[in-house]
Amino acid sequence: MSNLKGFLRADGKKGIRNVLLVCYLVECAKFVAEQIVKEANDKDVQLIGFSGCFPNSYAFDVLKAVCTHANVGAVLLVSLGCESFAKSRLEDEILDSKREVKLINIQENKGSQNSISLGRTWVLDNIEKLKRQIKVPMKINELIVGTICGGSDGTSGMSGNPAVGVAFDRLVKDKARCIFEETGELIGCEYFMASRTKNKTLAKNLITCVEKAAKYYKVMGYGSFASGNASGGLSTQEEKSLGAYAKSGSSKISGIIKPAQSPKKDGLYLLDVVPDGEVLWGFPNINDNSEIIELISCGAHIVVFVTGRGSVVGSAISPILKVCANPKTYENLENDMDINAGLIIKGEKNINEVGDEVYEKILSLASGNSSKSEALGHQEFVLGYKYFEKSKTCALDL
């Protein structure tokens, strides 16, 4: 299944999906954007947005990255009008990527109903144009794949995460670009990871990134180890970290990236999602969806999601592949899960066999087949406030 096909964009990217985004630029414009999506009534018309009114460079960078993502063909921006978001600048960035884009200003367009009507007409016209686009050949080494674990329990580190690690090793060998996260859930594993880096500078930067995460959580007064993890059988932050670390596989680590930074070369990358500087906001990621969006902002065509307790979320833009670590959870949530890694726990399959299954399923999704969350219509999107120092790239692409 290595002969994939994708949608070629004018900026040279190739996508495995061909979606049109309706993007609200402040919470006050969300209703109008929602109604446009609802009236378009097409699975490839998807809602995303940013609720805040005060400008934030992180939020701008993430929206720019997802609006120009390889899986995106056109974008409708919906503005109230008086928000501080740099809407015209975002429109220009999308235009520069040679995608179709339109900006609707509700305050200058006679209000909600007129804006909904105008937006619906534009969306229906452009989604038909996208449907006529013909796919072109695409190779595995053009894929970017991310992975996240959420709703972890005592089985996650024994089955689902190491199986994904096997799949990632195969993808890295195929010269794909692979991204695992996140520094806040890898505390205690920094020296293991440092030993896998390609040079001493990257090793030092990796340790610094994890130390930053540990400091952040210390100031906040809590870490990423949640009550749901404990009731699911995890004993400590260290045990959770070792499980999360397993999904990275055993390949050399090529670099560290931040949200909205896409790896420029093949290899394995760590995504640092913990803000730089002083602690200004709350939990680095308020839920798993925000981490998924950050992986997508880094160019991920597909995100592999390992869960033990169970998670039913999907995402806008890129398909989410659910790997269920716990056999009981899979039995209960089979209609939401794509792969039953719990068979490793039951002794019916080994880690390599499930890892190969994950690998083949990734190629299946890249060939146009749907994940369970896609088929159900999940299109979650969460974006909040953060701060990153752009001068600190943590050894990108070394």
pLDDT in tens, 82-123: 999 999 999 999 999 999 999 999 999 999 999 999 999 999
Nearest-angstrom CA–CA distance, 367 and 312:
23
- Fold for domain 4-136? Rossmann fold (3.40.50)
**Identity at 75, one-letter amino acid code:** V
Burial tier of 42 (Cβ tally within 10 Å: 0-12, 13-18, 19+): middle
What SS3 state is found at 362?
Answer: helix
Task: Give me the tens of pLDDT residue by residue for the chain, a chain 398 residues long.
Answer: 467 999 999 999 999 999 999 999 999 999 999 999 999 999 999 999 999 999 999 999 999 999 999 999 999 999 999 999 999 999 999 999 999 999 999 999 999 999 999 999 999 999 999 999 999 999 999 999 999 998 788 888 889 999 999 999 999 999 999 999 988 888 888 999 999 998 999 999 999 999 999 999 889 887 665 666 656 566 566 666 677 889 999 999 999 999 999 999 999 999 999 999 999 888 888 888 999 999 999 999 999 999 999 999 999 999 999 999 999 999 999 999 999 999 999 999 999 999 999 999 999 999 999 999 999 999 999 999 999 997 655 544 44
Residue by residue, DSSP assigns 199-222 as SHHHHHHHHHHHHHHHHHHHHHT-
Indicate the pTM of the whole model.
Answer: 0.95
The torsion of the CA quartet 380, 386, 390, 391, rounded to 10 degrees, works out to: -140
Sequence ranges of the domains in the chain: 4-136, 140-376
Nearest-angstrom CA–CA distance, 81 and 29:
9
What SS3 state is found at 67?
Answer: helix
Nearest-angstrom CA–CA distance, 380 and 392:
30
Token output for 222:
């809590």
**Quick check: bond before 182 cis, omega within 30?**
yes
> Positive or negative CA dihedral for 232, 237, 238, 244?
positive
Which residue matches tokens 């790239």? 393
